[in-house]
Amino acid sequence: MKEKIIFWFVFFGLALTACTKGSAEAQIEKPEYEITIPESSNIGNFINIRFKANKKIEKASAVFINNKNTPVQKLDAFPINKEQTEFVVIAGIATWWQPSEWQIKAQIVFKDKKLENEIFEETKPFTIHDTEYPKYIMKFNKKNTDLIYKKSEKKTEQKNRFAEVIKAKDPKAILFPGPFVLPFKVTRISSPFGEKRISKYTNGKVTERRHWGVDYPAPTGTVVSAPCGGKVVLAESRIVTGNTIVLEHFPGVYTIYYHLHKIYVKEGVVLNQGAKLGEVGTTGFSTGPHLHWELRINEIPIDPRHLLKKNLY
């Protein structure tokens, strides 16, 4: 009997020690972190989700979940400091998303073997508000009708290459958070972002599509400058969009320039803000000299004028 009591005493003693030790270790290992998720936004706008921790982050991501509880988009975060303790997701709010009560689920994993890839997560409500966009009827001549409807191998090739370029999320992309400025001294807008454009063609076809950029009319030859630092990832003459430039500012974040008269820059070059990109023109599917300025975030078209009000992150 005495032996038994001693046994239980030793057993409980050991168990108690193990318990205390375990929780102490867990306390040390527990990482401290902060995830900042905005409460709301509008369609056609963009947001960022920030991750900040006291130790190196292995990976972080955010999932947008709609009001039917369906995950719509999962985005990886990218490091914004050398220590890799701060990451950010830049996300566009698509014009085709249902304005309602959504949720954002953010996850973070630390570079720490002791944590065995444990996922820390936070889910927060996220309200998407509507944005009103105007409707506009446009009639196009034979030249522009042919540009849209004449099939060609070259056109398909160009379409595929463009899609590939804006789909890429190069983790090594140089980070240019902003602030952005206008690409030249703008006097007016001839066609806003998001406009529901009813296009009538000479072949009798009628389409309804949104306008994915902002059109700024200006005389041919007006110099277009880089609104922020970026890398030239595409600079070529295209059948539909004319002389075209695409700049990369962050993995998956691109600004786009259409209908240029001249292109001054070459692909692969990293430019500072204000570097001369080219000249305003009316090449490709265009009815007069103007710059079509576009912003794509993870392929989603976003109103580029938001860049003039806030940094990317």
Q: Using CB under 5 A as the criterion, which residues of the chain lie in contact with Zn ion when the complex forms?
A: 213, 215, 292
Q: Compare residues 138 and 165 and give the one whose CB is closer to Zn ion.
A: 138
We find the least distance from the C-beta atom of residue 255 to Zn ion, in angstroms, to be: 14
Rg of the chain, C-alpha, whole Å: 26
> What's the CA gap between 70 and 310, in Å, rounded?
30
We find the least distance from the C-beta atom of residue 176 to Zn ion, in angstroms, to be: 24
Q: Compare residues 63 and 198 and give the one whose CB is closer to Zn ion.
A: 198
Please tell me the total number of residues recorded for the chain in this structure.
313
We find the least distance from the C-beta atom of residue 193 to Zn ion, in angstroms, to be: 9
Partners of 281 in beta bridges? 290
The one-letter code for the residue type at 100 is S
Q: Compare residues 107 and 241 and give the one whose CB is closer to Zn ion.
A: 241
Q: Compare residues 173 and 246 and give the one whose CB is closer to Zn ion.
A: 246
Q: Compare residues 78 and 193 and give the one whose CB is closer to Zn ion.
A: 193
Tell me which H or E stretch contains 279: strand 276-279
We find the least distance from the C-beta atom of residue 162 to Zn ion, in angstroms, to be: 15
Tokens 């005493």 label which residue? 9
We find the least distance from the C-beta atom of residue 212 to Zn ion, in angstroms, to be: 8
Tokens 């006291």 label which residue? 54
We find the least distance from the C-beta atom of residue 91 to Zn ion, in angstroms, to be: 24
We find the least distance from the C-beta atom of residue 165 to Zn ion, in angstroms, to be: 19
Q: Compare residues 86 and 195 and give the one whose CB is closer to Zn ion.
A: 195
Q: Compare residues 64 and 293 and give the one whose CB is closer to Zn ion.
A: 293
> Per the structure block, which two tokens stand in for 215?
């059109």
DSSP symbols for 158-192:
HHHHHHHHHH---TTPPP-------SS-----SB-
The one-letter code for the residue type at 155 is K
Partners of 36 in beta bridges? 50
> What's the CA gap between 36 and 241, in Å, rounded?
38
Backbone phi, then psi, for 16, in 5-degree steps? -65, -45
Parallel, antiparallel or unpaired: strands 120-129 and 40-42 = parallel
